[in-house]
């Protein structure tokens, strides 16, 4: 199922969401225009290579864990970038609306950092760069999951490329997304050994971080409302 849009109203311009998207797109396009050798070098320097922090003799200079942050703005290919930006476009505006711009930015980066840390924790000897905004966006999805559980997500079901569009409750769509991430992460851990094509534990870590932390970043009036509900 491919999400097209959601039905939750947004009462402010999501400038931080747009800004994050713009940075990711500009960085990706700029690196695509670079010579391959330079682009590869930058990906290894600013992507999070877990073995860099596990084995100091691996060959990459210690960067003070800077790559845990910079990796959130790098993407491996067009499909990776488009999918992440599409999810952020659909779900980020409403979460930013409920948190406020500065709080949303801090929340987004915090979820991304914790997600990247969990990926390193579960795969510390990985020697290829972990890049992408997926972990941070997973935190945003978690916040949306709890803030808008009954809102509808309009999704396209690509059966023989027919225009089949259905409305699914956010709690069902995002709940299925979480189950897929958990299944993929545990499968990768139990039957690993092949090439890693997705930072599954970063997705899981971001969602866990978002689930635990989102209430702390809500506007005061929203915090009071959530506390009354629970």
Task: Specify the pLDDT at position 222.
Answer: 65
The span from the CA of 229 to the CA of 209, in Å, is 21
Low-confidence ranges of the chain (pLDDT < 50): 193-196
- Tell me the per-residue pLDDT of 173-210, one tens digit each, with 9 for 90 and over: 898 888 887 767 666 555 554 444 567 788 889 999 99
Task: Specify the pLDDT at position 216.
Answer: 96
Task: Specify the pLDDT at position 195.
Answer: 42
Task: Specify the pLDDT at position 202.
Answer: 86
Q: Are 44 and 60 in contact (CB under 8 A)?
A: yes
The domain defined by 2-229 folds into: Rhomboid-like fold (1.20.1540)
What SS3 state is found at 167? strand
Task: Specify the pLDDT at position 88.
Answer: 96
Query: What length is written for the chain?
Result: 230
Task: Specify the pLDDT at position 187.
Answer: 65
Task: Specify the pLDDT at position 135.
Answer: 93
Q: Are 169 and 150 in contact (CB under 8 A)?
A: yes
Residue 158's CB: how many other CB atoms inside 10 A?
A: 11
Q: What angle is formed at CA 223 by the lines to CA 218 and CA 226, rounded to 5 degrees?
A: 115
Residue ranges of domains in the chain: 2-229
What SS3 state is found at 98? helix
């Amino acid at each position: 199922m491919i999400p097209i849009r959601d039905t939750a109203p947004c009462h402010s311009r999501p400038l931080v969401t747009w800004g994050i998207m713009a940075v990711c797109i500009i960085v990706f396009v700029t690196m695509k225009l670079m010579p391959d050798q330079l682009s590869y070098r930058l990906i290894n320097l600013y992507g999070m290579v877990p073995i860099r922090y596990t084995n100091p003799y691996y060959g990459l200079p210690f960067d003070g864990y800077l790559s845990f942050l910079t990796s959130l703005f790098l993407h491996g290919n067009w499909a990776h970038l488009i999918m992440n930006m599409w999810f952020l476009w659909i779900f980020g505006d409403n979460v930013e609306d409920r948190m406020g711009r500065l709080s949303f930015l801090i929340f987004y980066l915090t979820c991304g950092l914790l997600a990247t840390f969990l990926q390193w924790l579960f795969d510390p000897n990985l020697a290829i760069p972990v890049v992408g905004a997926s972990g941070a966006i997973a935190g945003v999805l978690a916040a949306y999951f709890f803030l808008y559980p009954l809102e509808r997500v309009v999704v396209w079901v690509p059966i023989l490329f027919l225009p089949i569009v259905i409305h699914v409750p956010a709690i069902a769509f995002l709940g299925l997304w979480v189950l897929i991430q958990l299944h993929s992460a545990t499968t990768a851990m139990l039957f690993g050994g092949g090439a890693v094509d997705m930072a599954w534990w970063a997705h899981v870590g971001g969602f866990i971080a978002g689930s635990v932390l989102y209430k702390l970043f809500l506007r005061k009036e929203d915090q009071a409302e959530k506390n009354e509900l629970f």
